[in-house]
Amino acid sequence: MKFESEVVHAGDRKHQNCSAVPSTTPIHLSTTYFYESAAKLDRIFGQEEAGFSYSRYGNPTNQALEELMTALERSKGALATASGMSALQIAIQAALLDRRHGVVAASSLYGTSLKLLDQVFEPFDVAVKYVDFCDLPALEKAIADVQPGCVFMESISNPLLRVGKVGQIAKMAHAAGAALVVDNTFATPMLLRPLELGANIVVHSATKYLAGHGDVLGGIIVSDEEHLEPVRMLGRLIGSVLGPFESYLTMRGVKTLALRFERQCHNARKLAEWLASHPCVEQVYYCADPKHPDAEAIQHLFAPELFGAILSFEIKDADKTAVMEFMDGLKMIVPGTSLGDVHTLLLYPAMSSHRELSPKMRERMGIRDNLVRVAAGIEAVEDIMADLDQALRGRCVSATSQ
CA distance 315 to 395: 10
Supply the pLDDT for residue 15.
62
Q: What integer is the mean pLDDT of 220-230? A: 98
What pLDDT does 381 receive? 98
Range in 10-14, 59-63, 367-371 with the lowest mean pLDDT: 10-14
Instruction: Return left, alpha or beta for 317; rule: phi > 0 is left, psi -120 to 50 is alpha, else beta.
Output: left
- The answer to whether residue 362 scores a pLDDT higher than 90 is no
Position 401 pLDDT exceeds 80: no
The ranges assigned to domains in the chain are 3-254, 257-401
What's the distance, CA 371 to chain centroid?
Answer: 20
pLDDT, tens digit, for every residue of 331-344? Answer: 999 998 899 999 99
Whole-number pLDDT of residue 396:
76
- Measured CA to CA, the distance from residue 233 to residue 90 in angstroms comes to 10
Q: Is 110 an annotated catalytic residue?
A: yes
- Give the pLDDT score at 17: 64
| CATH class (in words) of the domain with range 3-254 | alpha beta
pLDDT for 395: 73
For all residues of the chain together, what is the average pLDDT? 94
Intra-chain end-to-end CA distance of the chain, in Å:
60
* pLDDT attached to residue 385: 98
Mean pLDDT of 150-178: 98
What confidence score (pLDDT) does residue 14 get?
72
So what's the pLDDT on residue 350?
Answer: 86
Average pLDDT over residues 92-113: 96
Q: Return all residues near 335 (Cβ < 8 A) that are at least 6 apart.
A: 327, 328, 345, 346, 347, 348
- Give pLDDT tens digits for 300-318: 999 999 999 999 999 999 9
Q: Is 208 a catalytic residue?
A: yes
Structure pTM?
0.95
Query: Given this model, what pLDDT does residue 400 score?
Result: 46
pLDDT in tens, 105-128: 999 999 999 999 999 999 999 999
Computed on alpha carbons and rounded to an integer, the radius of gyration of the chain in Å comes to 22
Phi, psi for residue 389 in degrees, rounded to 5: -65, -45
Which of 162, 165, 193, 208 is catalytic? The answer is: 208
257-401 maps to which CATH number?
3.90.1150.10
For residue 21, name the pLDDT band (cuts at 50, 70, 90): confident
User: Which of 130, 183, 248, 286 is an active site residue?
Assistant: 183
Provide the pLDDT confidence category of residue 16 given band limits of 50, 70 and 90.
low
